[in-house]
Structure 1
Amino acid sequence: MTASLTCLATFTAKKDCENKLKEALTALVEATRQEAGCISYTLHQGSENPLLFAVIEHYKDKAAFDFHSEQSYLLKLKEILPELVDDLAINTYINCA
């Protein structure tokens, strides 16, 4: 059985860039949800700190995540992230229970 893969991507927007970052991240949601291997893809903004964002992504397997990572809309985001974020962390996890 192939293990599903979860990605937790967290972003801290630069001061006064939270709206631009939110717009850029929101633009990925529908396209990513249409990918064959995407199980779910949700964007969250900090309830107490609006500079914080988290994207919780679930894929059927690593190949589906790798496919997502190569999409033009994600590559475009990677190009503009340095001007929008102070901190970024992308961690992946496999289902173990």
Structure 2
Amino acid sequence: MTELLVVAHWTISAGAEEKVRALLPRFIEASRAEPGCISFVGYQQLDHDRTIVLLERYASREAFEAHRDTPHFKGLALEQIVPCLERRVVETYDVPG
């Protein structure tokens, strides 16, 4: 099986910063606890406080699909965080090896 790297770029809508920052640690913690998650880290851009990058690594493409089917992905990410984003870009990469 090939590992998968996911790079998610989020731009938080003006005025929604506090809400997203309150939800993000819960989302990251729950994602890290998934059996197929190798790592899940969030970063805030230094010169633009509304820009967040999530670096996620999964044991396989199937593990990533399982992540997208979890209650925390659907409830926290899709239902609560994504509506507060001005922009969301998700890139996926196979990890050679």
Q: How far apart are the structure 1 equivalents of 2:79 and 2:32?
A: 21
Q: How does 1:1-97 map to 2 (within 5 A)?
A: 2-76=1-75, 77-80=77-80, 81-82=82-83, 84-96=84-96
Q: How far apart are the structure 1 equivalents of 2:43 and 2:26?
A: 13
Q: How far apart are the structure 2 equivalents of 1:29 and 1:71?
A: 13
Amino acid of the residue matched to residue 96 of structure 2? C
Alpha-carbon RMSD: 1.1
Q: How far apart are the structure 2 equivalents of 1:96 and 1:54?
A: 22
Gaps of 5+ in 2: none
Q: Which runs of 4+ in 1 moved over 4 A?
A: none
Amino acid of the residue matched to residue 10 of structure 1? H
Question: How far does the alpha carbon of each residue in 1:23-69 deviate from its partner, in whole angstroms, 9 at most, with x for none?
Answer: 22221111111111110000111111000001100001011101110
Question: TM-score scaled to structure 2, two decimals?
Answer: 0.91
The offset of 1:96, in angstroms, is 2.5
SS at match of 1:20: helix
Amino acid of the residue matched to residue 39 of structure 1? I
- Count matched residues: 95
Question: TM-score scaled to structure 1, two decimals?
Answer: 0.91
